[in-house]
Amino acid sequence: MPINSSIIRAICFDIDGTLSDTDDLYLKKILPVLKPIHLLFPKMDPQFLARRLVMASETPGNFLYYTLDRFGMDAFAGRIFSWANRTFMRSRKKKYMLVPGTRQTLESLVQRFPLAVVSARDRSGTLGFLNEFGLLPHFKTIATSQTCEFTKPFPHPILWAASQMGVDPRHCLMVGDTVVDIRAGKAAGAQTVGVLCGFGEEQELRKAGADLIVNSPVDLLTHLLQ
């Protein structure tokens, strides 16, 4: 089902894999090492395995959530996710890259919608990314792993961001690259968009209930501004 753009009044963005394109840097390094595994296990997709390894190292909360969720332990997984991100996602020096077209996309969207960041990173790491590329002025509010008692996949940070923007959560759009983002958005009553430029696979994003799946945030312009 496509999104109902007529009722959208605000947009919430995840960072890692959605606005920040760090994943491909690591995938390029890992894939050559994993290719021999494909010879031993032809049914194993090196690309899929590489993405999961990057997820485990970059966003341990996401990785744990995916793993536990596959065993039907989604409620427990949500609490583990919050703990993992608070424990491991400390501010650390890393090389940031923007998903191509991100700056222009935000510049266009902010003319019509208030924008928010809803990230599982801590505040220091989140602000570090936004300030490095001069994106901070585009966002009316920022929710990090330290903002609410629980982070994604719980709805708390999206509900908080919506209240800060003065918008009903049902009129918000949550944009992210993982099942965690989609489930948080659905739990908050928001519409959701899954992007394929990060960790998530199309099939799992659809299964999580994404209202729309696009290649990257740039594609939002077609659905929201035309």
119 phi/psi in degrees, rounded to 5: -120, 150
pLDDT at 67 over 70: no
Enumerate the domain spans of the chain. 5-21+96-224, 23-88
**Block residue for tokens 């089902």:** 1
Query: Is the peptide bond preceding residue 137 cis, with omega within 30 degrees of 0?
Result: no
For residue 11, give the H/E element and its range: strand 10-13
Q: Are 89 and 114 in contact (CB under 8 A)?
A: no
Q: Once rounded to an integer, what is the mean pLDDT over residues 122-141? A: 93
pLDDT of residue 26: 57
Give the architecture (CATH level 2) of 5-21+96-224.
3-Layer(aba) Sandwich (3.40)
Q: Are 31 and 51 in contact (CB under 8 A)?
A: no
Nearest to 94 by CA among 51, 59, 44, 61: 59
pLDDT of residue 89: 47
pTM above threshold 0.85: no
Q: What is the pLDDT of residues 200-223, one digit of tens each?
A: 889 989 999 999 999 999 999 999
For residue 175, give the H/E element and its range: strand 172-176
Q: Are 2 and 218 in contact (CB under 8 A)?
A: no
% of the chain with per-residue pLDDT over 70: 67
Which residues does 96 contact at the CB level (< 8 Å), separation at least 6?
A: 20, 22, 128, 129, 132, 133
For residue 35, give the H/E element and its range: helix 23-40
Strand order in the sheet with 212-214: 141-143, 115-118, 10-13, 172-176, 191-195, 212-214
pLDDT at 77 over 60: no
Euclidean distance between CA atoms 92 and 94, whole angstroms: 6
